[in-house]
Amino acid sequence: MKIATWNVNSLRARADRVEAWLERSDCDVLAIQETKCKDENFPWELFERMDYEVAHFGFSQWNGVAIASRVGLEDVERTFPGQPTFGKGGVNPEQEARAIGATCNGVRVWSLYVPNGRALDDEHMPYKLEWLDTLKANAEAWLDTDPAAQIALMGDWNIAPQDDDVWDIDFFIEEGLTHVSAPERAAFHAFEEASFTDVVRPLNPGPGVYTYWDYKQLRFPKKEGMRIDFVMASPALASRVTGAVIDREERKGKGASDHAPVIVELAD
C-alpha cells in the first residue's frame, strides 16, 4: 500500500496536476493540505472518477485538509480532541480546518496542516506550540490505549527539525526566522519521544533533501528548500515501511505547488 502527503496550495487551482499525479503515482491514500476551499466548492468529482473516496474539512479560501483513499475511508474525524482555536488578539477564537483523520485499510491517517508561527514574537507562535502539544497528547493517548495501533501523522508540519532541513541554517538564525527555533523543534521532537518515527528521513538522508521551495527569489532552481513535510508513524506502522520518496519532479513546471508530495510504501 502507498500512502502520501501533499500540500497542494489550492486544490482547485491544481486539480489537473493532482489528478495526473494520482494516476502516475498509483497512490492508495493521499493526505492533502491547503485545499483552500469549502465543502461546497471542493472538486469531489475529481476523486470520484478515479474511484477514490474522499473526506474534506474546509471553511474558506484558507487552510483546508482532506484524505482521499481507494482502500476504504472510515471513522472520519474533523479536528482532533481539544484542538486549539485561534482569534486575532484573542477575540472571537474559531476552529481552523487544519486536521482530519480517517481509517484507511487499518491505518489511522491524519492529514495535518500545522499552524505557521509567522514570526517568533507573533501571537500565532504560542497558538502553533499549543496546537502541537495538544496533538502530541492525543497521539500518546492513542498509543496508550492500543500500542499496536497503526497511526500516520502526515502533513505540512511547518517545522525544520534539523539544521540540514534548511538550505542555510545561519541565514535562518541571523534573520530570526521561524521553523527552526528551539521551541518549535522541541515540539516536533516530542512526537519522537512519544514513539512516533519520521519514516522518510532514513531512506532520504540530507542535506539538500527538501519538500518545500518558496516561489520567491527563485528558491527552487537555486536548490534553496526546506524539509517541513513529514510522515510520523507509530511503531506498528513504522515496522511496515519498505520505501519512501520525495517526488521533487512534481515541484517543476507551470502551476506547481510550492510543496512536493511525500510517498511511503507499506508492506502488506
Phi, psi of 213 (to 5 degrees): -140, 120
Q: What is the DSSP string of 197-263?
A: EESSGGGS--SS--SB--TGGGTTTTT--B--EEEEE-HHHHTTEEEEEE-GGGGSSTT--SB--EE
C-alpha cell at 110: 491524519
Is-contact 178 120, C-beta < 8 A?
A: yes
Tell me whether residue 7 is annotated as binding: yes
Which residue reads 511496515 in cell numbers? 240
Give the whole-angstrom CA distance, residue 267 versus residue 240.
Answer: 5
Is 164 annotated in a binding site? The answer is: no
Rounded CA gap, 52 and 69, in Å? 5
Give one DSSP letter per residue of 95-124, joined into a string.
--S-EEEEEETTEEEEEEEPPP--STTSTH
- Rounded distance, CA 226 to CA 184, Å? 15
User: Is 258 annotated among the ligand-binding residues?
Assistant: yes
Q: Annotated catalytic sites, by residue? A: 113, 156, 259
> Residue 197's beta-bridge partner residues?
233
156 is in an annotated binding site: yes
Q: Cis omega (within 30 of 0) on the bond before 207?
A: yes
259 is in an annotated binding site: yes
Question: Counting beta carbons within 10 angstroms of the beta carbon of residue 49, is it exposed (0 to 12), middle (13 to 18) or buried (19 or more)?
Answer: exposed
Binding site per annotation, positions for Mg(2+):
7, 34, 156, 158, 258-259
Binding residues: 7, 34, 156, 158, 258-259
